[in-house]
């Protein structure tokens, strides 16, 4: 059955892309709701006296995607503990809120929030309010699908606002072990010979611990007794990036290009090794998938 959901999560430019990835979402429009003015403009909404929120209105098939799945995407896309707005934007229009269309949506949202607080998922109380859905006013065409029409400006804003860095670290804190978090986010070096994959030579692939992007193949793993997984190359050069570590002299850091997590370093830091891409990778930053399971997944 076709249903409607509506969420406020700060600047609505950043709230479309996460939901569009879900199978079962049929349409997403950005706009304004919750306030008193009729047919408000963007300029009107940015004024504090009208109480409108910037929102995304989602049309979805509930037999393909559940409301709970929408809630999960929503809370993975915001800072629900911020009472003043979102990231670099303060003001009522940038505050978070869930607008429910029926009692079932209210119950599910309320239960979801209670679970977040009981388990201290975000380390603080949830500031996201629940409001009964009011009239939705569609925003100007300039704002619709902004991330598609203006990808460079969108990415610049997404990072400059602080949303990107917060969500990356928040997701890691909530889904990774303490060791995985310290390795991927703070560049902790695992102890040699006391990590999961240094002596693993089974056939398969090693994927990014955050987003499961395949990074390394067992065919390129070097049988070198140095205490960490060693690879001669990545599956594709575009999957990783090399950065000169400003904190450690002559260290060349290896990072995953898509998730931007720390993976490890170029081994021994010599030009020859760098040229050959001899890569020393932390086990905590990757996950091994045996060949038979990987081919089943793909």
Cα–Cα nearest to 56, from 154, 185, 143 = 143
Taking the chain, what is the end-to-end CA distance rounded to the nearest angstrom?
30
**Between these two residues, 292 and 3, which has the higher pLDDT value?**
3
Tokens of 167: 């969500």
Written as one string, the DSSP assignment of 101-146 is SSHHHHHHHHHHHHHHHHTTTTSS----EEEE----EEPPGGGTTH
Lowest mean pLDDT among 16-25, 134-143, 262-271: 262-271
The answer regarding whether domain 2-174 maps to CATH 3.30.1060.10 reads yes
CA 293 to chain centre: 25
Average pLDDT in the chain: 91
204-290, which class in CATH? Answer: mainly beta
Count of CB atoms situated within 10 Å of the CB of 105:
22
Task: Note if 226 is an active site residue.
Answer: no
- For residues 179-190, average pLDDT: 94
What pLDDT is attached to residue 274?
57
Return the DSSP state at 247: S
CA 195 to chain centre: 26
Count of CB atoms situated within 10 Å of the CB of 288:
18
What pLDDT is attached to residue 276?
66
**Fold identical between 2-174 and 204-290?**
no
Cα–Cα nearest to 83, from 35, 32, 131, 126 = 126
What pLDDT is attached to residue 273?
56
Q: Measure the CA angle with vertex 42, ends 36 and 46; round to 5°.
A: 70
Digit-coded pLDDT (tens) for 128-170: 999 999 999 999 999 999 999 999 999 999 999 999 989 988 9
Q: From the candidates 11, 14, 46, 93, which is the catalytic residue?
A: 11
What pLDDT is attached to residue 298?
44
Element (H, E) at 180: helix 178-186
Domain ranges of the chain: 2-174, 204-290
DSSP 3-state assignment of 80? Answer: coil
- In the chain, how long is the greatest CA-to-CA distance? 70
């Amino acid at each position: 059955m076709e249903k409607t959901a509506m969420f406020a999560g700060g600047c609505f430019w950043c709230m479309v892309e996460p939901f569009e990835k879900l199978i079962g979402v049929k349409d997403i429009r950005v706009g304004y709701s919750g306030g008193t003015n009729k047919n408000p403009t963007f300029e009107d909404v940015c004024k504090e006296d009208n109480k409108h929120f910037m929102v995304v209105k989602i049309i979805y098939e509930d037999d393909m995607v559940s409301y709970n799945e929408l809630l999960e995407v929503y809370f993975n896309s915001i800072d629900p503990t911020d009472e003043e707005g979102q990231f670099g934007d303060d003001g009522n229009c940038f505050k978070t809120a869930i607008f429910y269309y029926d009692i079932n949506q209210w119950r599910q949202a309320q239960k979801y929030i209670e679970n977040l607080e009981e388990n201290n998922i975000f380390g603080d109380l949830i500031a996201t309010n629940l409001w009964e859905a009011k009239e939705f006013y569609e925003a100007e065409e300039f704002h619709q699908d902004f991330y598609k029409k203006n990808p460079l400006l969108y990415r610049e804003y997404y990072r400059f606002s602080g949303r990107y860095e917060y969500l990356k670290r928040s997701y890691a804190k909530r889904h990774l072990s303490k060791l995985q978090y310290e390795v991927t986010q703070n560049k902790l070096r695992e102890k040699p010979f006391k990590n999961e994959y240094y002596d693993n030579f089974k056939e398969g692939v090693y994927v990014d611990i955050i987003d499961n992007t395949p990074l390394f193949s067992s065919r390129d793993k070097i049988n070198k007794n140095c205490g960490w997984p060693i690879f001669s190359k990545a599956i594709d050069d575009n999957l990783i990036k090399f950065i000169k570590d400003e904190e450690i002299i002559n260290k060349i850091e290896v990072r995953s290009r898509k998730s931007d997590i720390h993976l490890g370093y170029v081994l021994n830091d010599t030009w020859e090794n760098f040229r050959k891409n001899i890569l020393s990778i932390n086990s905590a930053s990757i996950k091994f998938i045996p060949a038979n399971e990987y081919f089943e997944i793909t």
